[in-house]
């Protein structure tokens, strides 16, 4: 994996959290605001659809972010950025898939399969 990704449980909140490098910081908003504890489901499906070349381009908008997926590179746009903070980032689509899988594995570990 290209990026250092840390998924951990916040002891005070009892919720899973994720840390990623600054250059892909918008991924945190995507995971914690849009994917949350439901798992990557539809988000991962969209990525897989493009990586399998079933589709050239897919776009999905959630509560906080829009994901614009192309085969090599995905753009994640934060819909409501704070002043002075980045409003988007680019990440290799394959790397984003790996992050989604890590997140789902952490959810499975915390809550058990099919929860």
Is residue 81 in some structural domain? Answer: yes
Is residue 105 in some structural domain? Answer: yes
Is residue 54 in some structural domain? Answer: yes
What distances in angstroms separate CA 22 from CA 4, 5, 19, 69, one per listed residue? 10, 11, 9, 20
Is residue 68 in some structural domain? Answer: yes
Sheet holding 57-61, edge to edge: 57-61, 65-70, 73-78, 88-92
Confidence class for position 115, pLDDT limits 50, 70, 90: very low
Pairing of strands 88-92, 57-61: unpaired
Is residue 1 in some structural domain? Answer: no
Q: Give tens-digit pLDDT for 74-110.
A: 999 999 988 888 899 999 999 999 999 999 999 999 8
What mean pLDDT comes out for the span 29-49?
A: 95
How many domains, in total, are found in the chain? Answer: 1
Place of tokens 């409501």: 80
What mean pLDDT comes out for the span 7-23?
A: 93
Token reading at 37: 């504890």
- The whole-model pTM stands at 0.92
Closest CA to 76 of 10, 28, 6: 28
Domain that holds residue 51: 6-111
Is residue 75 in some structural domain? Answer: yes
Residue 113's pLDDT is what? 63
Residue 4's pLDDT is what? 97
């Amino acid at each position: 994996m290209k990026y250092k990704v840390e998924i951990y449980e916040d002891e005070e909140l009892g919720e899973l959290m994720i840390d990623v490098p600054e250059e892909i910081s918008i991924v945190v908003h995507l995971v914690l605001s849009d994917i949350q504890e439901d798992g990557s489901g539809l988000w991962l499906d969209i990525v897989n659809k493009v990586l399998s070349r079933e589709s050239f381009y897919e776009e999905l908008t959630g509560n906080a972010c829009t994901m614009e997926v192309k085969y090599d590179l995905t753009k994640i746009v934060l819909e409501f950025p704070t002043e002075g903070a980045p409003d988007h980032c680019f990440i290799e689509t394959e790397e984003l898939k790996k992050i989604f899988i890590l997140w789902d594995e952490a959810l499975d570990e915390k809550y058990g399969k099919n929860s």
